[in-house]
Structure formats: C-alpha cells, structure tokens
Amino acid sequence: MTYNNLEISTEDKIGLITINRPKALNALNKETIEELSNAFGELESNEDIRVIILTGSGEKAFVAGADIKEFKDFDGKQGQQLAQVGQTILFNKIENLKKPVIAAVNGYALGGGLELAMSCHFRIASDNALLGLPEVTLGLIPGYGGTQRLPKLIGKGRAMQAIMTAEMFKAEKAEQIGLVNEVVALEELLPRAKKIASKIAFNSPVAISKAIEVINLSDSDKGFEAEINAFGELFDAEDFKEGTTAFLDKRKPNF
C-alpha cells in the first residue's frame, strides 16, 4: 500500500513506521491517522513481523500534536466524532494490537502526539524529547485517550497536575515519573529501540500476544481471571512445546 504521510520498512522481524510530515512537525491530521491505522493493520497481519517501532521523521518531533487547522471550526458533535473515530481506528487499536509496539519518541510529543506514544506498549525517548498534553490552553481536554492513559502511567495526581497546567516534561523527568521507560541520545534512539525489539522477536509471539491482552486488563477486575485462563491456554500451544523442549535440550527455541 502507498502512503502519503508514512514511511514503512521491515527488517529482521521488525516493522518500522515513520510518520513523515516534517514541515508540520509530523502533526496528526485525518489522513495520517487513517494511514497509521492501515499501516498497523498491514504489519499486524504480516506473519514475518514480530515487533513494530513507531517514530517520527527528523530530529525535532515524534508528533508535535494534532493538526489544529482541521478542527478549529468544529462544533460539539463534530468534536465528539473526531475523538471517537480517532480512538476507535487508531489509538485503541494500537493498545490492543496483538504485536508489541514500541514508541521511539524523538523531540516533541505533545497533545495527540503524546497520546499516540501512550497508546504504544512502551516508550523509549531521545534526550531532546519534550512530552505534554497542552489541550487546556486551547480550551479543550485530551480526546484521544490522554485522560485515561496518563493516570495509569504516572498516577492520578501527577496526571491531574500535568493536564490542568499543560506542563511539559523533559526526557529525564518523563523517565523519572514512568512516562517513558528509558532515555538515550538521539543518535542511539532507533538502534536502542531495534535492540529491544530484537530481544522481543526472539520470544514466543503467541505468549507475547497473550501477555499484551492480559496486561491491558491489569487495572480491571478481570485481570487475574484472564491471566489464569491465558496461562492455561498457552499449555496447548505449539510454542510451549517448543520452548520447553528447547530448554531441556539446552538449545535456543525456534518460535
């Protein structure tokens, strides 16, 4: 499939999606959101791909936010539809994808950009990253899941303060509060993300898919039951047989 706003590459079981709108600091517009949805669907269905990395082109921005020009004249109904469609076709889709998604956050990750990064399964940031949800400065609140995902990552109190003040976090602070997993130099960002992705790609894709599913239920009352059921189901999978056999044979498993 041809994309106007994305670059897609694959190598060694890793898919790389690069948002490529450098003149707009990779801001999310309707077309880009739709293309991202299609790209994630394409890579999820590709059996050769085990892990997906998402990043932005250039050194300045992962995604600097939503494209405000597209919705500045919207009414309430249109605004609600904007949030609902975006969450459904992209942000929730990434969070529940069967394959792990790593956000490689380079530069600005603001508004919808931070919401996009938070929908990924975890985040690695460059040392020049700046993350925040400044929607209240526009008279809005985050609409792509930011009010729900940020408290889970940094705690309710910190999320309240960050959203109400439109506070922006430098990379070091973001790591301290758990918004990103680690911080590396800009030139090391993609190599580090690929190194982590390679470690994941070595492991059982069936088990990893189940882990994503169950971890996403960890803040609900269904989490423990889901873990028990998933644990049992995996005993019937071929990967379990291969993994245990390889362990006993003292060799690397071939998943």
Active site members: 115, 135
Q: How far apart are CA 51 and CA 180, in angstroms?
A: 18
In the sheet that holds 6-11, the strands lie side by side as 6-11, 14-19, 51-56, 101-105, 122-126, 182-184
Of 102, 106, 112, 118, whose CA–CA distance to 154 is shortest? Answer: 118
Q: How far apart are CA 207 and CA 209, in angstroms?
A: 5
Specify the 3-state DSSP secondary structure of 49: coil
The dihedral through the CA atoms of 10, 15, 16, 17 has a sign that is positive
Q: Is 42 within 8 Å of 10 (Cβ atoms)?
A: no
Q: Retrieve residue 66's tokens.
A: 């939503």
3-state secondary structure 120-169: CCEEEEECCCEEECCHHHHCCCCCCCHHHHHHHHHCHHHHHHHHHHCCEE
DSSP 8-state class, residue 91: I
Which residues contact residue 178 at a Cβ distance below 8 angstroms, ignoring those fewer than 6 apart? 153, 154
